[in-house]
Amino acid sequence: MIKFFLMVNKQGQTRLSKYYEHVEISKRTLLETEVIKSCLSRSNEQCSFIEFKDFKLIYRQYAALFIVVGVNDTENEMAIYEFIHNFVEVLDEYFSRVSELDIMFNLDKVHIILDEMVLNGCIVETNRARILAPLLILDKMSES
Amino acid sequence: MALTVVSQIFPREMIPAVLPLIEDKLQHSKEIIRRKAVLALYKFHLIAPNQVQHIHIKFRKALCDRDVGVMAASLHIYFRMIKENSSGYKDLTGSFVTILKQVVGGKLPVDFNYHSVPAPWLQIQLLRILGLLGKDDQRTSELMYDVLDESLRRAELNHNVTYGNICTWFKIQKVQKAILFECVHTVYSIYPKSELLEKAAKCIGKFVLSPKINLKYLGLKALTYVIQQDPTLALQHQMTIIECLDHPDPIIKRETLELLYRITNAQNITVIVQKMLEYLQQSKEEYIIVNLVGKIAELAEKYAPDNAWFIQTMNAVFSVGGDVMHPDIPNNFLRLLAEGFDDETEDQQLRLYAVQSYLTLLDAENVFYPQKFLQVMSWVLGEYAYLLDKETPEEVITKLYKLLTSDLVSSETKAWLLAAVTKLTPRAHSSNVVERLIQEFTVSLDTCMRQHAFELKHLRENVELMKSLLPVDKSCEDLVVDTSLSFLDGFVAEELSQGAAPYKPHHQRQEEKLSQEKVLNFEPYGLSFSSSGFTGRQSPAGISLGSDVSGNSAETALKETNSLKLDGIKKLWGKEGYLPKKEGKAGDETEAPPVPQESIIMESVDQTIVKKDQSQVLTQSKEEKEKQLLASSLFVGLGSESTINLLGKADTVSHKFRRKSKVKETKSGETTSTQNMPCSYFSSSSDVTYEDDYYLDTLQDRGDKELNKFSLSSELLDSESLTELPSAEKLSSCTESTPSLFTDNMEGLHTPSTVASVANEISLASSLLEETSEHMHSDLVEVCDNETISVSSYKIWKDDCLMVTWSVSSKSGLELKSANLEISPTENFKITEQPGCCLPVIETESIKTFQYSVQMEKPFTEGNLSGFINYQMMDTHSVQLEFSVNLSLLDFIRPLKISTENFGSLWLSFANDVKQNVKMSESQAALPSALKTLQQKLRLHVVEIIGNEGLLACQLLPSIPCLVHFRVHGDVLALWFRSSCSTLPDYLLYQCQKVMEES
């Protein structure tokens, strides 16, 4: 199962973090910095899975933005790896060419999208149209 | 609409309330809502599986939903449930297989495709479920073979077809690979089938050989799974594995090592371990080190080719692993050394080699070794240095001494070192170093070091004793430690007959300690413990023997001495006890050196010496302590004795009794502090006292077993309610109160009618009349009515809960149909419906009653309990009627019947207190009247009245006690509340004020 979902830029600033398992707030920042450090220290040739303490990190880089997912042993790394891409594709579709700024200023929407896709540490929806459906309804409501 | 459901998914704990709503949503026409509902149920299942048990059928419906999303959502629930209990869902295998077949066959709507792969994550989830279902089950596995084959083939096929299409190739391949990987995993976890295995193996081959590093990683991971079943596969990929070993990416390396770890055998161990050590030296992360060190040590123990290699590997492990490694590793190592193998000469060689290697290691200048390593070294040197030919013990001692004086060594390690020196001393003929060492450490600030030094000094004065104490190479000989210490039985009996206090179990003493600190009625332990330094030689023996035998009790016995020396003693126990404990864990047979030392003292020097010593040093406290110790060890023996003596019958008696006593306790509202303790403790405590009492009982009266059994159980009742009382009192009360309680118990145990009444009361099947006559209850208050029915309610203040009863009566005398009462949940109350309230048929008078027991979740002054009633008259539509009932704090307050002693101990154990002066009206200016008001209105229990002061106690249901101390000055009442709950005193105070003002 997925333990946490992080979006971090290259400077190590956390753009989005979501935990599916209780972690103390004070420990979160510590964990995040450690996670980021270990991800940033890796080159392109190295594999995108890291064994980190008792769980695994799966990361993917999009321009200056890293997406890091922490999972436990039972998860299929490759599936998560592709899931990250799926997530980015959804963002891309919604924001039409997503950038870091989009994420910074529409954090609520990103969260909604993520909540649609991941629930209690499980991937629950991967169908792009369906993920975006509630969000689009919301948008329509706010417009009118 | 959809979003409301989403929000419910996360923070819900009030499942029962929301559940029906969500169940409705399962039938909603929009797929998204159905899907969200299923997910909400999944969440419920996660947090409280019991509460959604009844809707499992609905899950099945969801699984067969016409929409894919809903079906996919239900898979999560199934995955979870199957993981917990795979056998219960075997019948669903067929449907999962069909679903997978459809998915793989591309029957899903196109928008589920991810880069033209049909719903990859869905496939993965399905495969996982199948893997769980098919585990070790040939029949179910057979169902899956086809579909697995199909999905493997598809995955391959896709892979090949799209090969030409460069743009999308990578992505497709990746997802496909993820599926493939899961396939392989599944194939290997289900009951094996050769064809499939072959195919899967081929896939793995492709993974491993892939140039893409992520795939390589996956391949290696898959190999690790596979390798346990089929090591030959590893052979095929030998070269790749070797390449991976030297891969620049540490993660790949790590995975490869993991793989190697699985295929290690006696032939390849040296290479593999070497690789592992190399990796170990590079890595810095603690977690990895701990993990890897454990693995190496395990492998080394299992497959070590020869002694030298083994010792060297272990040395490397110790020096790298250092202090972070698991404590089992050095323990196992030492055990291995001590127990040896079958061949004696080989053992000697191994030990000799170890000793030699350690000496050379110690020779090296300016090298810092981890503390654990030093400890291991010192033990080995102490035990086996005699094997050395060239070097004399003196030289070894000198080396150890050098370490001892070093600043880098922790005091724990120093203790190990000193123990080693002690062991070596008898073999050294004359040693100035030892002299110097003794001199130096007898003035050491560290008490445990000083203790050790004194031990050594005394032993040196008596060489004979020393030699017998510290035999050569006897560390793994079975020491017969008489755990029951039967040779002390006589002594204890004697002491008992002289009026000494019998041994009290651990918890009891703790409670006593609590009360003793305040009440000051407890002399024996209060005395100082001045003799300990002087009697160093045998007190540690006693202590650690005691500790060995009955761990905590000895320690607490020491704690209770409460003197200055306490520290030293405790530490000593820790240090001395350390070895036996550790070793004892590692292997029963191996007793570490301190234990032989002590037990031999105990056995050879024996009681007489103990007594002689005692008379020399004799102080009261010493004797007391001895007694405690002896009694404590004796007690352990008794535990087994009594179980032998006692017939199974007696056991059941006590068991029955225990249940009964609990009921009784709650019934009388007598919440001693035991009630606050966890249940397990409760039963164990009663067990302990049970044995204890039994022993006393047998002392008193061995003859009449039959009577014994009953008096025994009655004693139990006594001891339970009186655990806090000093045991002398307990004893007397045991004997005194036996007759009365005896009869009481007789009733409880043997008169079916009483049992029945108790059962009745619990199940509440009994009628209202009976109920209300038993307990205080409020008047019937009409809460709401309309033209046809009226609802009235009353409260029953039961001793263990508040019962709220609603009775619905039809005015017209017509029969009420399907009347249903629902209470809306509030955060303050915990409401449980009582069985027997949902009788479908209404009684003849067209009155229907509902009973709910209400418990307060957190204290507050007043709360509102509201709900509604649904009913249907004859052939009319259903009507809903709302009502609400006020509940105040007082409804949940019950008297707490405790004694003054208990009050004292409880009083001090509570942290939250509130003080307030309340003015009294003229009429009740006197203490008795004020008391009476409080007692009646607030249901407080009057514990004691002393002059113009009084003690009151009450408890908030279920069991939060609150104590009140009050004093009257003229017309002012000074109230002082204390409770374990922080808010309760405030609320109670408020109630008190109100009551006083009113009257």
Query: Poorest-confidence range of B83-97, B269-283, B404-418, B861-875?
Result: B861-875
Q: Is the pLDDT of residue B469 over 50?
A: yes
Average pLDDT on B834-853 reads 55
Is B249 within 8 Å of A46 when comparing Cβ atoms? yes
Q: How far is B214 from chain A, CA to nearest CA, in Å?
A: 5
**A75, A82, A87: which to substitute to probe chain B, counting the most B Cβ within 10 Å?**
A82
Of A49, A51, A82, the CB nearest to B174: A82
Place of tokens 């919604």: A94
Helical (H) or strand (E) element with B810: strand B802-810
Helical (H) or strand (E) element with B100: helix B93-104
Query: Poorest-confidence range of A3-7, B357-361, B500-504?
Result: B500-504
- Structure tokens given for B303: 């497959």
pLDDT score recorded for residue B846: 56
Q: How far is A4 from chain B, CA to nearest CA, in Å?
A: 15
Tens of pLDDT, residues B100-119: 777 777 777 766 666 666 67
In A, what residues contact B, Cβ < 8 A?
Answer: 45-51, 53-54, 76-79, 81-83, 85-86, 115, 119-120, 122-130, 133-134, 137-138
Asked if B676 contacts B981 with a C-beta cutoff of 8 angstroms, the reply is no
Of A49, A76, A82, the CB nearest to B182: A76
Q: How far apart, in whole angstroms, are the C-alpha atoms of residue B39 and residue B46?
A: 10
Q: Which residues of B touch A47 (CB under 8 A)?
A: 213-214, 216-217, 249, 251-252
Is A82 within 8 Å of B214 when comparing Cβ atoms? no
Q: How far apart, in whole angstroms, are the C-alpha atoms of residue A49 and residue A32?
A: 16
Verdict on whether the full-model pTM lies above 0.90: no
Q: Which amino acid is at A49?
A: F
Q: For residue B980, what pLDDT band results from cuts at 50, 70 and 90?
A: confident
Q: For residue B740, what pLDDT band results from cuts at 50, 70 and 90?
A: very low
Q: Which residues of A touch B215 (CB under 8 A)?
A: 78
Is A78 within 8 Å of B214 when comparing Cβ atoms? yes
Is A82 within 8 Å of B175 when comparing Cβ atoms? yes
On average, the pLDDT of chain B sits at 61
pLDDT score recorded for residue A142: 85
Is B214 within 8 Å of A83 when comparing Cβ atoms? no
Sorted by sequence, the CB contacts under 8 Å of residue B544 that are 6+ apart come out as B572, B573, B576, B577, B580, B594, B595, B598
Q: Is the pLDDT of residue B684 over 50?
A: no
- H runs (alpha helix) in B722-871: 727-750, 752-763, 768-774
Helix axes B250-263, B269-282, angle to 10 degrees: 150
Place of tokens 């002066």: B917
- Structure tokens given for B215: 């795939």
Place of tokens 């199940």: B763
Q: Is the pLDDT of residue B711 over 50?
A: no
Q: For residue B999, what pLDDT band results from cuts at 50, 70 and 90?
A: low
B495-to-A25, B512, B546, B627, B965 alpha-carbon distances in Å: 59, 21, 18, 8, 41
Asked if B434 contacts B456 with a C-beta cutoff of 8 angstroms, the reply is yes
Rounded to the nearest 5 degrees, what angle is found at the Cα of B465, between the Cα atoms of B461 and B468?
140
Asked if B727 contacts B502 with a C-beta cutoff of 8 angstroms, the reply is yes
B244-to-A81, B212, B230, B257, B777 alpha-carbon distances in Å: 22, 13, 20, 9, 79
Q: Which residues of A touch B72 (CB under 8 A)?
A: 124-125
Q: How far is B52 from chain A, CA to nearest CA, in Å?
A: 17
Q: How far apart, in whole angstroms, are the C-alpha atoms of residue B896 and residue B368?
A: 62
Smallest CA–CA distance from A34 into chain B, residue: B285
pLDDT score recorded for residue B174: 53
Average pLDDT on B781-790 reads 68
Q: How far apart, in whole angstroms, are the C-alpha atoms of residue B223 and residue B207?
A: 10
Q: Which amino acid is at A8?
A: V
- Rounded to the nearest 5 percent, the helix, strand and coil shares of chain A are 45, 25, 25
Average pLDDT on B395-412 reads 70
Q: For residue B671, what pLDDT band results from cuts at 50, 70 and 90?
A: very low
- Structure tokens given for B454: 């004194």
pLDDT score recorded for residue B726: 43
Q: How far apart, in whole angstroms, are the C-alpha atoms of residue B915 and residue B705?
A: 54
Q: For residue A24, what pLDDT band results from cuts at 50, 70 and 90?
A: confident
Q: Which amino acid is at A135?
A: L
pLDDT score recorded for residue B847: 64
Q: Is the pLDDT of residue B260 over 80?
A: no
Percent of chain B with pLDDT over 70: 35
Query: Poorest-confidence range of A15-19, B533-537, B977-981?
Result: B533-537
Q: How far apart, in whole angstroms, are the C-alpha atoms of residue B915 and residue B912?
A: 10
Single out the residue of B70, B144, B66 nearest to residue B107, CA to CA: B66
Burial of B372 (0-12, 13-18, 19+ CB in 10 A): buried
Burial of B649 (0-12, 13-18, 19+ CB in 10 A): exposed
Q: What ipTM was reported for this prediction?
A: 0.84
Is B121 within 8 Å of A45 when comparing Cβ atoms? no
DSSP state of B266: T
Q: How far apart, in whole angstroms, are the C-alpha atoms of residue B200 and residue B226?
A: 9
Q: Which residues of B touch A82 (CB under 8 A)?
A: 114, 120, 171, 174-175, 178
**B251, B284, B291: which to substitute to probe chain A, counting the most A Cβ within 10 Å?**
B251
Q: How far is B38 from chain A, CA to nearest CA, in Å?
A: 11
Range ranked top by mean pLDDT from B375-379, B462-466, B534-538? B375-379
B8-to-B4, B11, B24, B848, B936 alpha-carbon distances in Å: 6, 6, 14, 35, 46
pLDDT score recorded for residue B698: 43
Asked if B793 contacts B885 with a C-beta cutoff of 8 angstroms, the reply is yes
Pairs of CB atoms within 8 A across A/B: 102
Average pLDDT on B826-852 reads 57
Q: For residue B943, what pLDDT band results from cuts at 50, 70 and 90?
A: confident
B71 or B175, which is more confident: B71
- Residue B970 zone, left/alpha/beta (φ > 0; ψ -120 to 50; rest): left
Q: For residue B169, what pLDDT band results from cuts at 50, 70 and 90?
A: very low
Q: Is the pLDDT of residue B811 over 60?
A: yes
Tens of pLDDT, residues B816-825: 556 666 766 6
Q: For residue B588, what pLDDT band results from cuts at 50, 70 and 90?
A: very low
Pairing of strands A2-9, A14-19: antiparallel
Q: How many CA atoms lie within 13 A of B339 on its CB side?
A: 16
Smallest CA–CA distance from B214 into chain A, residue: A47
